[in-house]
Amino acid sequence: MQKNAYIRFNNTLIRNAPEGIYLYFQFFHEYVINYKGLPFFLRKIFNSVKKIILTSFFILKYTILKRDLEFSDDDYIIKREGVGKIMSDTFLIKKSGLLCIKRKIYSDENYNTYKTYYLKFYKNRSNLFFPSAEFVDADNMILTDFIKAPKLLNLFYDKKYGFEGIMNVYYKICQHMDLMYEEEKYGSVHGDFSVVNILVDGDNYFLLDYPDSFVYERKYDKYLLIRSIFKFFGRAIEFNSISRYIKLNEDEFNRYEEIYQYRRGLK
């Protein structure tokens, strides 16, 4: 690797070139500052300041370090190193001149879980779409189309939305979830149905990242999504609050929260 060819930011390496910096800020960086207890409008201000500082940092890095850097299509544009329970590395690359995502999953079990969920649901009659995927079983590698659409998470700071606007999107996604799961109450669930794993392209939604899938009550995915919305809006994860937006009883809430905590290794 050429010296200074990539800029590291946390667990991500970004090609030190205009294309890499642009694609990172448009589609990879998650513009959220989630200080617990901080009012949403203050988090929005901090987020804007953070964006300005990071953008200036990357431009400065590029200006100072860009000399004599050359890249080929064999060099990745962005690499995100896996952290947490699911060990994997994700690359944004070019293949035959087109952008695509290459993901290496290190656990056979996680790879097979990912593949099983994808093959079961990628053809469905809803507006929940899956990026086209090619599986390389020998390497636990998945190649998928790169979808140029923002994550649901990043719409939280769009002036067109707000909490109620995001909840309207939530209800639409739940309707499509019912169609995808064909109204079945029990079966394979996504397992990490959250605001970071949904891309929004108008009234179409692309679902990402399936290695957490398992067999359980299908309503659990709806709970995960509303839980992640509440979390990033700084709202309490409590039955009386969440049950205003999703039909579930207190026993279901307690079970889903316990399953969530257990599968995240929090208890």
Please state which of the ranges 24-33, 129-138, 246-255, 258-267 shows the lowest mean pLDDT: 24-33
Check whether 171 has a pLDDT greater than 80: yes
Please state which of the ranges 85-94, 160-169, 172-181, 184-193 shows the lowest mean pLDDT: 160-169
Mean pLDDT of 158-183: 88
Choose the final residue of a domain: 145, 171, 198: 145
pTM: 0.86
Q: What is the pLDDT of residue 225?
A: 97
Q: Is residue 115 assigned to a domain? A: no
180 burial level (CB within 10 Å; 0-12, 13-18, 19+): buried
Binned at pLDDT 50, 70 and 90, residue 38 comes out as low
Together in a domain, 249 and 176: yes
Give the range of the structural domain holding residue 13, as residue numbers without chain letter.
6-107+131-145
Together in a domain, 96 and 195: no
Check whether 29 has a pLDDT greater than 90: no
Q: What is the pLDDT of residue 197?
A: 94
Residue in the structure block whose two tokens are 């990490």 = 192
Check whether 238 has a pLDDT greater than 90: yes
Please state which of the ranges 33-42, 81-90, 125-134, 135-144 shows the lowest mean pLDDT: 33-42
Together in a domain, 188 and 252: yes
Q: Is residue 124 assigned to a domain? A: no
Check whether 246 has a pLDDT greater than 60: yes
Q: Is residue 78 assigned to a domain? A: yes
Together in a domain, 20 and 80: yes
- % the chain with pLDDT above 70: 83
Check whether 141 has a pLDDT greater than 90: yes
As for how many domains the chain has, the answer is: 2
The 3-state DSSP class for residue 160 equals coil
Please state which of the ranges 18-22, 33-37, 73-77, 139-143 shows the lowest mean pLDDT: 33-37
Q: What is the pLDDT of residue 84?
A: 65
Q: Is residue 126 assigned to a domain? A: no
Q: Is residue 28 assigned to a domain? A: yes
Q: Is residue 71 assigned to a domain? A: yes
Question: Pick the residue with more confidence: 189 or 24?
Answer: 189
Together in a domain, 138 and 187: no
| Inter-CA distances, 118 with 135, 212, 216, 231, Å | 10, 12, 17, 27
Choose the final residue of a domain: 84, 119, 145: 145
Q: What is the pLDDT of residue 162?
A: 78
Together in a domain, 72 and 100: yes
In sign, the C-alpha dihedral spanning 147, 116, 228, 127 is positive
Check whether 205 has a pLDDT greater than 80: yes
Q: Is residue 35 assigned to a domain? A: yes
Together in a domain, 17 and 136: yes
Mean pLDDT of 144-172: 86
| Inter-CA distances, 94 with 13, 20, 97, 143, Å | 16, 12, 5, 11
Q: Is residue 122 assigned to a domain? A: no
Check whether 228 has a pLDDT greater than 90: yes
Together in a domain, 54 and 159: no
Question: Pick the residue with more confidence: 234 or 69?
Answer: 234
Q: Which CATH number covers residue 236?
A: 1.10.510
Together in a domain, 25 and 73: yes
Mean of the per-residue pLDDT values of the chain: 86
Together in a domain, 135 and 180: no
* Pair of tokens at residue 201: 């392209």
